[in-house]
Amino acid sequence: MESSLIAPCGMNCGICYAHLREKNKCPGCRFLKSNIPVSIERCKIRNCLKNRKVGFCFECNEFPCKNLKNLDKRYRTKYDMSEISNLEFIKNNGISNFIETEKIKWSCSKCGGIINVHKKSCSVCGLMK
């Protein structure tokens, strides 16, 4: 896991299904290339931050905005993860500490692979979280 995989909204793209899959692997929300996935191109949060010239949502005056609250609610309900909590941790403890915490939280206890937040299983051995 690396800092370039932490999206402006607080999502760790390194644990995302789209990034972990074999085919058509998503590069992460911070990679602004012409051939980026549609989900990134249409992302309201990414496009908002691009216009506001900030790196993370917590740097914005409107943090947490309606779009981030909606995303956070969906992720807390479906995946037991909070982008807002992630952003608050980064703001208070720094990106390096966040990445170290994420490595521990999302590492498979069986093989050391990465737990996929969307499937709740290891991307290497398939162990369920």
User: Which residues lie across from 121 on neighbouring strands?
Assistant: 116, 128
Residue 52 is predicted with a pLDDT of 64
Residue 11 is predicted with a pLDDT of 95
CB atoms within 10 A of CB 5: 20
Residue 106 is predicted with a pLDDT of 95
Q: Given 3-state DSSP classes, what are the helix, strand and coil percentages for the chain, each rounded to the nearest 5?
A: 50, 5, 45
pTM of the model: 0.87
Q: How far is CA 122 from CA 16, 17, 102, 119, 128, in A?
A: 11, 11, 14, 8, 6
Residue 36 is predicted with a pLDDT of 61
Which contacts (CB < 8 Å, 24+ apart) does range 24-33 have?
Answer: 28/4, 30/4, 30/5, 30/6, 31/4
Measured in degrees and rounded to the nearest 5, phi and psi for residue 126 equal 85, 0
Tokens of 114: 């990465």
Cα–Cα distance, 17 to 13 (Å, whole number): 8
Encode pLDDT of 39-85 as tens digits: 566 677 877 766 667 789 999 888 999 999 999 999 999 999 999 99
Q: How confident is the model at residue 38 (pLDDT cuts 50, 70, 90)?
A: low
Tokens of 72: 């956070």
The 3-state DSSP class for residue 117 equals: coil
